[in-house]
Amino acid sequence: MSEPSSENPITKIRNICILAHVDHGKTTLADHLIAACGGGVIHPKMAGRLRYMDFLDEEQRRAITMKSSSVKLNYNDHLIHLIDSPGHIDFCSEVSTAARLSDGALVLVDSVEGVHIQTHAVLRQAWIEKLTPCLVLNKIDRLITELKLTPMEAYNKLARIIHEVNSIVSAFKSEKYLSDVDSLISKCDDQEGTEIEVAQEDDEVTFQPQKGNVVFSCALDGWGFGIEKFAEFYAKKWGANSAALVKGFWGPRYYNKKKKMIVGKKAMETVSNNPEPMFVEFILKPLWQAYHAILERNKDMIEKVVKFGGLSVSDKELQNKDPKALLQSVMSQWLPLSDSVLSMVVKCLPDPCMAQPFRITRLVPPREFVPSNADPAILSEAERVRKCIEICDSSNTAPGVAFISKMFTVPVKALPPDPTGLLVSDFSDSDDCFLAFARVFCGTIRSGQRMFVLSALYDPLKSDPTMQRHVQEVELHQLYQMMGQALIQVPHARAGMLVAIKGLAQHVLKSATLSTTKDCFPFSSMAFQVAPTLRVAIEPSDPADMGALIKGLRLLNRSDPFVEINVSSRGEHVLAAAGEVHLERCIKDLRERFARVSLEVSPPLVSFKETIEGEGVNLVEKTTPNGRCMVKVQVVKLPGQLTKVLEENAELLGEILEGKSGNNDNTLKRDDESLVVLRKKILSAIEAEIEHISGQLGDKEKVEKHRKTWLKYLPRIWSLGPRQVGPNMLIVPETSYADSKAVLIQGSCHVSERLGFLNSDSETISKMPPLEEVEAALIREAETLKSSVVSGFQLATSAGPLCDEPMWGLAFIVEPYIFPDNSENAHPSDQYGIFTGQVMTSVKEACRAAVLQNNPRLVEAMYFCELNTPTEYLGPMYSVIHRRRARVLKEEMQEGSPLFTVHAYLPAEASYGFADELRGKTSGAASAILVLSHWEEIMYDPFFVPKTEEEKEEHGDGSSLSPNLARLLMNKVRRRKGLPVEEKVVQHATKQRTLARKV
C-alpha cells in the first residue's frame, strides 16, 4: 500500500470525514480536494460539477449523497483518507459508519442558511464518537452576490454562526460535565469525609479562527482561506509579527494606523466613530472589492486585484466574456481551497497515534465486570490487545485488529483483475460483489490471511458454548484501496489505514470486529441518531418470484447498515426504512439490483401505541376456565417523564436486566456509573411529575400521597414490558388474602433489585404466612406459575385491546390467586388445557380489559419538522401542513435572507407523501427535514358516546355521530391487521327514487 515516506508513517496519516446538513457543499468541497491532491482523478475545471464521490445513478439524479465513500489524498508528504458522508436525515446511518472510521471531522455550515437541524445531529455524532472537529463556513460568495451584505454585516453574520456552533458543542460538554458530577456525588454518598475533586470544565471555545480550526470558503468557485493566510501576507508587507496578526484578525481588534498598533474598541473611540475590526478592514473588504471588480468587469480594479494577490492570469482568461469563469480563475489562484482546508487538517486534526488513546473508551470500553471463573490468561491477552489498539501499535508483533462499519456493493466488472482466480461474485447469478468498509486499528492485515470475525455480542471471557455462534474464522480474499468509485488492489494494510475487504459477504451482516486472535474484546456498537420508522409490506407481483424476493431482501439487509427486514405475524415481509427517500432507494435497489422482480408495495404501516387517560380506578377480575385461578388487575398511568426515561434507556436496561445475568458475580455494584445515572433519572422523572401535579392541584396532602404511592411502587417492580425492557411495569401487590384457602402468586421484584431500589431501607413485601388449610403442594405450585404471570403481562403489553399495538406508559398491579383443585366438585381441569396456559391467558385478558375500562387512548409518533420557504410561498406551505394535522411551534425569518424557517410537529401517520406535496404546492421552493421527535397521546376517546347534558345537546344521542380521529385511525389499523371492525356498512340508506325525465 502506498504510504508516505517517513520514519513513522502513522504520524503522517489523517482519517477525516465531511459532515454537514444537506446541500451545504460537502461533495463539492470533496471534488476540489480530489482535483488538487487525488493524483489526477479529476481535472480542476470539472471540480464542483462532476460530483465524483456521488457515483450512484440515484445520487446523480437527486443531486444528494446517499452512501458514504472514501478517497485517498496525498498532501505535503501526508496521507489523508477522506470520507464523504450524506447530509440527508434519511441516510444518517452512513454518517455513523463514516464517523466510526475517522479521527477528525470537517463540519460544513452554509454561511447564508446557518445552523440547521442536521448540523446539530452531525455535531452530536462527532461528539459521541470522540472526533476532533474543524469548521468550514461555506458559500461565502452568497453573502456578496445574493444577500448583497456589506463587509461589516457579513462579519457579524459569520460571528453569529460560529457562536451558535460553539454553543451546541458547549452544551454537549456541559451535559457530560453534569453527568460526571452526579456520578461522583452518588459514589461518595456513603463515604463520610470524602473530598470530591471535580475537574473544572474546559471553558475554551472549540471553534476559533485564531486557533486555525475555522476556514471561510466558497467550494463552488474553489477558493477558501484561514486567517493565517492573510496574517502571513500582511506580516511580509508590514514587517510585523505573524502570530500577533493572527490574534488580531478575529474579534473586537482594531488597527490604529497612526500608532501602527493593534488595539481594543475603547482605544479606537477617540480615533473613529465607526471603527471596523481588522477582519473586516484587511480581509473581507479586499474580497468584496475583488468580487465587485470582476463581476462588473472593472479592468483597472481587476489589475489591482491581480497585483495585490501576486497572481499570473493569462490574457485569454482576462478577456473571457463569462465573468464567473474569470472569477473562479482569479480566486482559486489567490486563495486555493485545497491548501486552506488540507493545511488545517494536517495542523489541527490528530493522527491515529494521537486519536486512538482519546477514543479508546468509546471504541473498546473498559470492562467493569469480570466473571469470577474467567481465565486470567485470556483476560491478560484481551487487555494486551486493547492496549495495542489504544496506542495504534503497528509493529510486527502486534495483533491485527480492524473494525468493519458496513458492507457495500460494487459491480463485479469494477473490481481489479483477481490473480488468484477466485470467484468475485458472492452469488453465481449476481452482478454485484460485497466488500467490507473497514479501518485497521492496530497491527497489519494481509490478503489471504485467516482472521476471526467477532460480533458485538462476543465475550472472550465467557466459557459458554453459545459464544461460538458469535465468532467465525474467515480468509481475507483481497484488500483494496478506495478511490471513490475506483478500487486499487493492495497486498496489505497497516494500522491507521482504510481499506475495502473482499471475502466476508457470507460472514458479516452489517458490522463486526476483525482480529487475528479470539482473545479480543469486540468494538462497541455504533450509535444511530434516528430509528427506522417507515415500514411497508412487500410482496412479488408473481407469487412464483417469492424466492427471488427473499434472496433480494437478504442482500439488501446486508448492503444497507440501517434497513430492517422482518416477517410480521401475518406472514408479510416488512421493510423498515428511515424515511421516504431512503425507502424509495431501497425499493429501487430491490427491483433493479437484488431481487430483479416486479414488486407490490403496501401503504406505510404506521405504528401506534395504546395507553389510558387519567388515573386507573376500575379493578378487573378474571378467572381461569377451570376456576382454580383468579386474577385481579388494576392499571395506573406512569408519569410522562418516567415513560420517556424507560424508552430512551431501553438498551441500558437490557444490559442491566439480561446482559449481566450470565456472570456468577452478577450483583451490580451501587457505584456503577450508568446504573447510578439511570436511577437518578427515574427519581427525577417522578419528582418532575409530582411538581407538575402540585402546580395543578395545590393540595399538599394529595401531592404527598401521590409521591408516597410512586416511591412505594419502585421497590416492587417485577418486570418491564414488552420484550422485558419496554415502558410498562408489572408491579407486585401488597400481600392480601380474600380467602383463607387462596394462595397469592408472589412476585420477585426482580427489576427493582437490579436497579438498586430494593434495599434494607425499602418496605419489604410481606411473605405469605403459614396457613393450616393450604397444603405445601399448593404453595409450590404457586411458585411454578410466576413465569406464566410474567408471560401474560408481556403478551398484553405487546398487543393492546384497541388495535393490537404495544401499550405505552402503564403500570399493572396484578394479584393472581390460586385455589386447591377440588376435582370431585368441578370439571376435570385438563379439559380446559394446561393450567399454566390458562393463567397466562387470564392475566393477558385481565390487563387488556383493565385498559378498556379506564378510558383507553391511542398514542401516535410525531416528527419534528423544519421547513424553509421563501416569503411568497408561506400560504401554500401552511395549507399543506395544516391539512396534515401539523402543529406549528414557531416561525422566524432568517436574518439577511428572504427565507422563513418554520418548526412544527407532524404526525407520522400524515407524513407519507408530505415532501412531494410540499414541493408540488410551492413549485419546489420549500424544503422540509423530518426527524422522529416523540410519542403524543391523541386526546379523542375512540369509543366516545354522549353522556352529559352538554354532550347530548351538541351531538344528540350519538347514533348519527361520525367516528372521530382516534376511531378512524383505530379502525384503519384493525382493518389492515384483519381484526373485526365495528362500523356501519350503510351510512345513508334511502328508498330508491326514479329521476324525473328531462324534456
HEC per residue, 850-917: HHHCCCEEEEEEEEEEEEEEEHHHHHHHHHHHHHCCCEEEEEEECCCCCEEEEEEEEEHHHCCCHHHH
Residue 831 pLDDT greater than 80, yes or no:
no
Chain center to CA of 139: 27
* Residue 752 CB neighbour total at 10 angstroms: 22
> What pLDDT shows up at residue 665?
39
Q: Domain 534-605 belongs to what topology?
A: Alpha-Beta Plaits (3.30.70)
Pick the CATH number of 9-184+205-222+336-350 from 3.20.20.70, 3.40.350.10, 3.40.50.300, 3.30.572.10: 3.40.50.300
877-880-881 Cα angle (round to 5): 90
At residue 589, what is the residue type? D
Residue 319 pLDDT greater than 70, yes or no:
yes
Alpha helices, DSSP H only, in 263-314?
265-268, 278-279, 285-295, 299-309
Q: Domain 227-335 belongs to what topology?
A: Yeast translation eEF2 (G' domain) (3.90.1430)
Contact partners, residue 386, CB within 8 Å, separation at least 6: 360, 364, 366, 520, 521
What pLDDT band is residue 733 in, cutting at 50, 70 and 90?
confident
Which residue pairs, CB below 8 angstroms and at least 24 apart, start in 413-421? 414/485, 414/486, 414/487, 415/480, 415/487, 415/502, 416/480, 416/487, 416/488, 416/489, 418/477, 418/478, 420/477, 420/478
Contact predicate 602/537, CB 8 Å? yes
> What pLDDT shows up at residue 994?
59
> What pLDDT shows up at residue 206?
86
> For residues 571 and 352, which has the higher predicted lDDT (pLDDT)?
352
> What pLDDT shows up at residue 180?
55
Return the minimum-mean-pLDDT range out of 65-79, 691-705, 863-877, 966-980: 691-705
State the residue for C-alpha cell 403459614: 770
pTM of the model: 0.76
Cα–Cα distance, 627 to 612 (Å, whole number): 29
Section 584-592 average pLDDT: 88
> What pLDDT shows up at residue 63?
72
**DSSP 8-state symbol, 765:** P
> For residues 898 and 69, which has the higher predicted lDDT (pLDDT)?
69
Model pLDDT for residues 711-724, shown as the tens digit of each residue: 888 888 888 888 88
> What pLDDT shows up at residue 672?
55
> What pLDDT shows up at residue 430?
60
Cα–Cα distance, 78 to 342 (Å, whole number): 10
> What pLDDT shows up at residue 690?
79
> For residues 428 and 611, which has the higher predicted lDDT (pLDDT)?
611
Section 930-936 average pLDDT: 85
Contact predicate 249/279, CB 8 Å? yes
List the grid coordinates of 971: 379502525
Model pLDDT for residues 206-219, shown as the tens digit of each residue: 899 999 999 999 99
Question: Same CATH fold, 857-977 and 534-605?
Answer: yes
Residue 985 pLDDT greater than 60, yes or no:
yes
> What pLDDT shows up at residue 137?
94
What pLDDT band is residue 109 in, cutting at 50, 70 and 90?
very high
List the grid coordinates of 740: 383463607
The average confidence (pLDDT) of the chain is 81
Residue 827 pLDDT greater than 70, yes or no:
no
The residue ranges of every structural domain in the chain are 9-184+205-222+336-350, 227-335, 368-515, 534-605, 612-658+669-758+774-821+834-854, 857-977
Residue 751 pLDDT greater than 80, yes or no:
yes
**Which parts of 606-675 are beta strand (E)?**
608-612, 620-623, 629-637
Residue 669 pLDDT greater than 50, yes or no:
no
What pLDDT band is residue 423 in, cutting at 50, 70 and 90?
very low
Q: Domain 612-658+669-758+774-821+834-854 belongs to what topology?
A: Ribosomal Protein S5; domain 2 (3.30.230)
Section 783-787 average pLDDT: 84
- Size (the chain), residues: 999
Share of the chain above pLDDT 70, in %: 86
Residue 197 pLDDT greater than 50, yes or no:
no
Section 836-858 average pLDDT: 89
**DSSP 8-state symbol, 429:** T
Section 529-553 average pLDDT: 87
Cα–Cα distance, 88 to 499 (Å, whole number): 25
For residues 244-272, b (16+ Cβ closer than 10 Å) or e, as one string? ebbebbbeebbbeeeeeebbeeeebeeee
Model pLDDT for residues 457-490, shown as the tens digit of each residue: 888 888 777 778 889 999 999 999 988 878 899 9
> What pLDDT shows up at residue 825?
45
**Domain 368-515 architecture:** Beta Barrel (2.40)
> What pLDDT shows up at residue 198?
35
Cα–Cα distance, 497 to 72 (Å, whole number): 10
> What pLDDT shows up at residue 4?
42
- Rounded-to-10 torsion of CA 434, 365, 79, 19: 80
What pLDDT band is residue 68 in, cutting at 50, 70 and 90?
confident
Section 333-337 average pLDDT: 88
> What pLDDT shows up at residue 203?
46
Q: Domain 857-977 belongs to what topology?
A: Alpha-Beta Plaits (3.30.70)
Return the minimum-mean-pLDDT range out of 85-94, 110-119, 788-797: 85-94
Return the minimum-mean-pLDDT range out of 233-242, 509-518, 698-707, 756-765: 756-765
Residue 705 pLDDT greater than 70, yes or no:
yes
> What pLDDT shows up at residue 662?
36
Chain center to CA of 906: 19
